[in-house]
Amino acid sequence: MFLLVALVVFSVYMLQLVRQTTDQVLSPVMNANAQLRTQVSGFLHPTPTIIPDPVTIINEVRSLARLETIQYSIEKVITAETGQGSFSFLFGDKLLFVAHGTVIAGIDLGQLTSQDLRLDGNVLTVQLPEPEIFVATLDNDKSYVYDRQKGLLNSGVTDLETKARQVAEQEIAKAAISDGILSEAKLNAENYLTRLFKTLGYQEVIFIYPTPEDVP
């Protein structure tokens, strides 16, 4: 009985020893395989390296006095296509671009002059410039090509997505204007400036805008 137990213990010990030896032998091979898989993956799916040019050219510097009073965040779907028709399955190229953009509007206070401010008793009359769009730009992190269909004989128009992005910025600005962003920008500017002028001691503030004849 004692001999049987000793044999079992010895067998277990030998199995553990063999397992440890096998792991030690195979470990370098497994590590090498893992490194090889990583290198192959990096070769097939390389991470792009972006190297900015160290030379910076500043073309223009301007002082700004823009009062930004409202911001819109807009999503717009743009279709860009070429070669459509009966043979579009051969020569066509069509993409759907989902554009996310930002439109910011307000009043350019840099256009104000002393002639635009008039004080009559306790009433301050301010002639403000018309509101305008300051920024209409795409959010590249959120904008993307949803779908693209190319004809069998068309490898794809190189700048089709670029053109879609350019149109998207214009359409985002148009959508904001159609929704009334300029009117809201004007109202917000008046509310802000009214509080500012009253803080300075002016009891009543009236805002006027240039008539079409006054605009150069």
Residue 57 belongs to a domain:
no
Task: Count the domains in the chain.
Answer: 1
CA–CA dist 112, 128 (Å, integer): 7
Average pLDDT of the chain, as a whole number: 78
The residue that leads in pLDDT, 127 or 157, is: 127
Residue 100 belongs to a domain:
yes
pLDDT band, residue 42 (cuts 50/70/90): low
pLDDT score of 186? 94
Contact predicate 139/72, CB 8 Å:
no
Residue 34 belongs to a domain:
no
- With DSSP H G I counted as helix, E B as strand and the rest as coil, what are the percentages for the chain, rounded to 5? 40, 30, 30
Residue 121 belongs to a domain:
yes
Angle at 133 between CA 77 and CA 67, to 5 degrees: 135
Residue 49 belongs to a domain:
no
pLDDT band, residue 16 (cuts 50/70/90): low
Residue 151 belongs to a domain:
yes
CA–CA dist 183, 62 (Å, integer): 27
pLDDT score of 95? 81
Q: Which of 179, 180, 172, 188 is nearest to 136 (CA)?
A: 172
CA–CA dist 142, 161 (Å, integer): 15
Taking 60 as the threshold, does the pLDDT of residue 192 lie above it? yes
Range of the domain at 83: 66-208
Residue 26: helix, strand or coil by DSSP? helix
Structure-block tokens of residue 112 = 């104000």
Residue 39 belongs to a domain:
no
Residue 5 belongs to a domain:
no
What pTM does this model have? 0.68
CA–CA dist 100, 146 (Å, integer): 12
pLDDT score of 181? 95
